[in-house]
Structure 1
């Protein structure tokens, strides 16, 4: 009886996926850039705050769309795109 597995995942560290938190924050309070700060994009978060203030909240549609995109991506695709690949916008 062989107990070795070729795809051993039990001893690999778990990767933190911030998909749900970032997506919900982007939809609910995205105008203040919280989702950008959660993903580690400080510069983009500050830009989002400035855009919201300058446009009186009219550009709040951008984080709303981002939140929908975040939540519709697969976990692996989200992790590779926004956390590993560091793609800050859309």
Structure 2
């Protein structure tokens, strides 16, 4: 039995050696795979940084283009003239827009609309005011068409006088 025990002991030692060797191989494979995954993660991180940088640059370019277009819209006298036709609030917005960057066309329509708005208070007079209100509305429509076309067209109701009276605008 001692010989059997010795053989069993040798077999057991061989098996333990095989298990140790397998564990070492598995440990090396795990270590190698972890190293590969770490390298992949570094590469993905670099790619993500590059994509983020590209996205940031594109966003900066788009914002710059938008700012340039907004400046162009606000400095355009035609837009000021059109906005000035949107009752009092539009007129005030157009006045602010025109004060930052005065344009001849924008100032022209600011004066026209101020005159028409002030003249519209006479529309509260019974009967005569109603007829005047219709005439003011027609003059406002004609003025709006002129602003849309980008031409300076004084209204048929005191249009030239509005230009003289409100020349400070």
Q: Give the TM bin, normalised by the shorter chain.
A: 0.3 to 0.5
TM-score under structure 2 length normalisation: 0.26
Higher helix share: 2
TM-score under structure 1 length normalisation: 0.41
Higher relative contact order (CA 8 A, sep 6+): 1
Specify the structure having the higher radius of gyration (Cα).
Answer: 2
